[in-house]
Amino acid sequence: MLQYAAIPVCVVLYAALCHYTNSVEGTEVLGAALSIGPVCLLGAAFAWRWAHPLVALAVLGAAALLVYAAWPALEQNFSRLYVSEECALYGLLCVSFARSLFGERTAVCTLLADRVHGPLSAAELRYTRHVTAAWAVFFALISVTTLSLYIWATLRIWSMFSNFCTLPLVLLMFIAEFTVRRCVLPRVGAGLIATLRVYFAGSH
């Protein structure tokens, strides 16, 4: 239970620190560390999991040297790395959801609903395809809004949206879709927690 409670606390703390570094001068070192930290942790986890230990160590060593050499540039441009990571994340989600709607592929939401409630009826298949399209549009709007605010708004306004609005908007999207689903498809509308578990397991 404590580990689940620690996740939102860490997310809020990270968001607050990121906003602090984008709003206060003289925080370049902390900003660079926070911006490169998630990428380094994910890269290290993937390398250690999928490569031979010696190969993983060599890759991590080379990455550490690269970060060291690029550190002055990271300090000066850490906000650009923030926005690049966020746009890449939501852009990848948009492409993943949209791509599943073409050809012979199964829509992402159809696949997840089938795992929880399958087999699905024709009406449920249509609905889940529409929901997949809605998620693709939603992630595209988040990515475009983030980039637009970074380019044309102040750094503080962009940081407020990026750090304190995007995740709540994702949660609101989940709640709105779940509410509509309960009205349109009562059978598939049951079990929000189960659906979320399958969603994050599938995303992983």
163 and 204 part of one domain: yes
122 and 201 part of one domain: yes
33 and 96 part of one domain: no
Q: Once rounded to an integer, what is the mean pLDDT over residues 170-197? A: 75
- Percentage of residues in the chain having pLDDT higher than 70: 88
Q: Residue 117 and residue 96: Cα distance in Å, rounded?
A: 22
Residues 94-106: tens digit of each pLDDT: 999 999 999 889 9
Residues 153-178: tens digit of each pLDDT: 999 999 999 999 999 999 999 899 98
21 and 60 part of one domain: yes
**20: how many CB neighbours lie within 10 A of its CB?**
15
Q: Once rounded to an integer, what is the mean pLDDT over residues 89-97? A: 95
Query: What does pTM read for this prediction?
Result: 0.85
- Percentage of residues in the chain having pLDDT higher than 90: 55
Q: How many domains does the chain have?
A: 2
Kindly report the CA angle at 54 between 42 and 68, in degrees rounded to 5? Answer: 55
pLDDT at 204: 45
Choose the final residue of a domain: 11, 44, 76: 76
Cβ neighbors of 117 (< 8 A, separation 6 or more) are 124, 187, 188, 190, 191
